[in-house]
Each structure stands twice: as C-alpha cells, then as structure tokens.
C-alpha cells in the first residue's frame, strides 16, 4: 500500500477526531484534522487529499452543505460521511451532496479500516493507471507501446506480442541506440538463471521483427550490430506522449 495517502478528518469532537487520526496514522496516512467547517474548507482549498472523512453533524454549516463545498474544491477526492443517523433519506442526500460513501456511527475500528484499505487500493490502482498513461511511448508513427495495457501498435495496427517479445521490445525502446549483446539480452529479459542459449535470442528477435518491421529482411527498427548484438534505432523519432 502507498505510504503517503493524505487524509483530512472533519470532526468537531476532538476525542473522536484524535481516535480516527490514530487509526489512520497506523496505516501510514498523513492526517490533518479540522474541528470546524471553515478550517476544513480552508485546508481543502490549499491542498489535495486522497480521502476526506466528514462528520455530518457539525456545528455551523450543515454537514451536507460542507460536503457540497468540499466536493466543489476537490473533484477527485474520496469523501466518506460519518453520521449517527442512518436513514435512507440521509444516505441519498449525502450521496447527492457529493459523498462517495456513508458510514453510520457507531462503527467499529475494524469496519472503518477495512473500508479505508479497500478505498486506498482503488486509489492506488487509479494512480498507477494514470502514471502508466504518461509512460505511453510513441516512436514516430511506426510504433506505439502502452505500458499500462501492454498494447503494442505497429503502424496503427494492434500487434500481439508474447511476453518475452514484449519485454525485449520494451527494453530496446527504452534504450534507443544502446547496443545489447545476446548474453546481455538473455540476462535482462530471461534472467541469470535461464539455461537457454543465445539462439533463443535470435529466434525471438526474428519473430519480433516479423511483427514490428515493415520488411523483416531489412529491419529498420531492430538492427543487427554485426559481431556484437542488436540495437534499437528509433532514437531520432522518439517522443513521449
């Protein structure tokens, strides 16, 4: 689990707030507490949280209104409402105000933490996905590699690669111009313990060429460096997307 989730607790009762803070810090969250609506809105204006735990029963502004304002400030933050009331009407009103979920007091620490862990798993998965999208790499118009879905397109056409073909291609594409010997490729893609020989590499390179080169007999991307090994020559048209 990511160790730096940031959480904002909005709870006017200091004891309840500090108990929650303690629980969340136990799973490596950075926790801030707001005891009043104006404090929480100010905090939500100044930084982004992964999760806001909002007590519905606050003095001052109505909890639902606080939720609406928090939602307006933090479009992608998970907001969970805590309330002593658990009627269907409250639940609907809370969700309409922008809460993602609803926990009815009294709740057990175990129940709350199970909910939080499940939430952070989703948050982490989304974060990883977003990160991978940034890593999507295009080499000119010829080749695109989406590291999130492991999808490879060659001249716009989706191309199915085996796992080793994909790993090889990714190694080359990430290191354009770098010359790799067959032994280095074996180490990098198959691992030191692999018992196979260097013909394995030739076989995979040839198969990869038939999939990515316009003419595999005259490879332009995956070139042979005679007497040494192979290199990827996509460097001139490399760009990140």
Contact positions vs Ca ion (CB under 5 A): 12, 55, 57
In the complex with Ca ion, the residue whose CB is nearer, 34 or 78, is: 34
The minimum distance between CB 35 and Ca ion, in angstroms, equals: 10
For the CB of residue 29, give the shortest distance to Ca ion in the complex, in Å.
21
CB 10 within 8 A of CB 66: yes
Rounded to a whole number of angstroms, the distance between the first and last alpha carbons of the chain is 28
Residue with smaller CB distance to Ca ion, 79 or 145:
79
Nearer to Ca ion, 19 or 188 (CB): 19
- Would you say 37 or 55 has its CB closer to Ca ion? 55
- Pick the closer one to Ca ion by CB: 57 or 171: 57
Phi, psi (rounded to 5 degrees) for 68: -60, -45
- Output the residue with the shortest Cβ distance to Ca ion: 57
Min dist. Cβ of residue 13 to Ca ion (A) = 5
21 SS3 class? helix
Judged by beta carbon, residue 12 or residue 187, the one nearer Ca ion is 12
- Nearest approach in angstroms of CB 11 to Ca ion is 6
Strand pairing category for 6-10 and 30-34: parallel
Report the side by side order of strands in the sheet with 137-139.
Answer: 157-159, 151-154, 143-146, 137-139, 238-240
Closest CB 85 distance from Ca ion, rounded Å: 11
CA angle at residue 89 from 87 to 94, to 5 degrees? 100
Partners of 145 in the beta sheet?
137, 152
CA distances 241 to 107, 135, 150, 232, Å, are 46, 7, 15, 19
Strands 151-154 and 157-159: antiparallel
CB 104 within 8 A of CB 83: yes
CB of 152 to Ca ion, least distance (A): 54
Task: Name the minimum Å distance from CB 16 to Ca ion.
Answer: 7
User: What are the C-alpha distances in Å from 119 to residues 52, 115, 131, 181, 190?
Assistant: 12, 6, 18, 45, 36
| Residue whose CB is less far from Ca ion, 12 or 146 | 12
């Amino acid at each position: 689990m990511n160790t730096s989730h940031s959480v904002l607790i909005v709870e006017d009762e200091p004891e309840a707030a500090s108990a929650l803070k303690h629980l969340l810090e136990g799973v490596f969250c950075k926790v801030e507490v707001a005891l009043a609506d104006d404090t929480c809105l100010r905090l939500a204006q100044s930084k982004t949280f992964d999760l806001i735990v909002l007590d519905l029963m606050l003095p001052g502004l109505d909890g639902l209104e606080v939720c609406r304002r928090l939602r307006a400030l933090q479009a992608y933050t998970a907001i969970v409402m805590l309330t002593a009331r658990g009627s269907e009407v409250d639940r609907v009103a809370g969700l309409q105000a922008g809460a993602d979920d609803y926990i009815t007091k009294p709740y057990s620490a175990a129940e709350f933490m199970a909910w939080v862990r499940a939430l952070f798993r989703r948050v982490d998965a989304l974060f990883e996905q977003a990160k991978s999208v940034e890593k999507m790499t295009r080499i000119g118009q010829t080749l695109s590699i989406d590291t999130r879905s492991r999808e490879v397109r060659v001249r716009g056409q989706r191309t199915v690669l085996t796992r080793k073909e994909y790993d090889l291609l990714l190694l080359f594409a990430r290191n354009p111009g770098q010359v790799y010997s067959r032994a280095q490729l074996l180490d990098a893609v198959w691992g030191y313990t692999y018992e196979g020989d260097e013909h394995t590499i030739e076989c995979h390179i040839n198969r990869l060429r038939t999939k990515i080169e316009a003419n595999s007999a005259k490879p332009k991307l995956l070139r042979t460096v005679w007497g040494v090994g192979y290199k990827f020559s996509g460097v001139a048209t490399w760009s990140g997307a």
